[in-house]
Structure 1
Amino acid sequence: MAGSRKIAREFTLQGLYAWLVGGADVTLIAATLKEDEQFRRADEDYFRALLYGVLKEEDLLSARLAPLLDRPVAELSPIERGILLIGAYELLHCPDVPWRVAINEGVELAKKFGGTDGHKYINGVLDKLAQDVRAVEIAHAKKKGVSGEQ
């Protein structure tokens, strides 16, 4: 289904926001999000993989992001932090998602939910992370002259 992963990312961001701001139980958060009528358009398996994966790996993901940030992870807005966690998770754990797609989806989430220029910050941080964790994929794409997008 076209766009179903995009919608899954949007719901994952909403879930992470609720978790970061309110500390609510992730099972309750997921159940509440599933009640939204738009949720049926999302890839539910991908939503679950992202939400639970990000929360399970949050310490590791934050540690990977920390050296790339201009401030401590805890000082990021919940929206920026959630988007960066999703992007980092995809870059590290979802090899089926091309690096440019992971970055672009983060940028699109920031444009939709974040502050005025937040998408530029998200782009810069995720690009730096991709250069590190997807170096072989990026080098191969440049060598072939391929954009890396699906």
Structure 2
Amino acid sequence: MKVSNRHRARELVVQGIYAWQLSGNAIEQVELSMATSNDMKKVDTALFKRLIRGVGEQADELDIAIKPYLGRLPEELDPIEKAILRIATFELKECIDIPYRVVINESVELAKTFGAQESHKFINGALDKAVRKFREHEQ
């Protein structure tokens, strides 16, 4: 199966946000590190920059926005789950040009790739609830 440039961008963003969460380095430093240590030719760099910068700037607000749909505290999340949910919440709130079904599907696929065995089910359930608030116009 051919992987899209947008999916590759999201994969790098998950890795970057994960590294940022654990290292505490500036998001700009993490972005630069990800961009220089990966082949960006087959990556949607505009989406990569939009997501990594947006999540880095709005992480606390994104945690508050998704919290009611988790069934647990954001602090209790696995770092990969937290990264994926932050990215998805940012996309649902700020990237109205991306259909919510794409956001959810991409998030589930990222959880299957990077997350724990059953994390994709948790991600899907939380986002399915959240989308009703963030994208009620698309329902």
**TM bracket, shorter-chain basis:** over 0.9
Runs in 1 of length 4+ with deviation above 3 angstroms?
Answer: none
1:60 equivalent in structure 2 = 61
Contact 1:33 1:39 in 2 (8 A): no
Q: Say whether the 8 Å CA contact 2:63–2:74 is kept in structure 1.
A: yes
Offset of 1:112 from its aligned partner? 0.3
- Point out the more displaced range, 66-75 or 94-103: 66-75
Tell me what 2:115 maps to: 114
C-alpha contact 2:55 2:86 (8 A) present in aligned 1: yes
Contact 2:8 2:42 in 1 (8 A): yes
> Among the aligned pairs, what percent are the same residue?
40
Listed one character per residue, the Cα deviations across residues 1-43 of structure 1 (whole Å, up to 9, x for unaligned) are x711111111111110011111112222111111234332111
Gaps of at least 5 residues in structure 1 are 139-150
Q: How many residues align?
A: 137
- What per-residue deviation string (whole Å, max 9, x for no partner) do you get for residues 110-148 of structure 1? 00000001000000011111011111211xxxxxxxxxx
Partner residue in 2 for 1:86: 87
1:41 aligned counterpart, secondary structure? coil
**1:50 aligns to what?**
51
Per-residue deviation, residues 30-71 of structure 1 (Å, max 9, x unmatched): 111112343321111111100011111111111011111121
CA contact (8 A) 1:11 1:39 kept: no
Aligned residue type for 2:74: V
Distance 2:5 2:50 in 1: 14
CA distance in 2, matches of 1:37, 1:61: 27
In structure 2, what is the equivalent of residue 104 of structure 1?
Answer: 105
Asked if residue 134 in structure 1 is aligned to residue 135 in structure 2, the reply is: yes
Summarize deviations over 1:64-122 as a string: whole Å, max 9, x none: 11111121101101100000001101110111110100000000000000000100000
Q: Counterparts of 2:31 and 2:93 in 1: how far apart (Å)? A: 23
Deviates more, 1:81-90 or 1:66-75: 66-75
Secondary structure of the residue aligned to 2:71 is coil
Answer whether contact 1:99 1:130 (CA < 8 A) is retained. Answer: yes
SS of the equivalent of 2:41 reads helix
| Higher-Rg member (1/2) | 1
Q: Secondary structure at the match of 1:40?
A: coil
Distance 1:110 1:65 in 2: 16
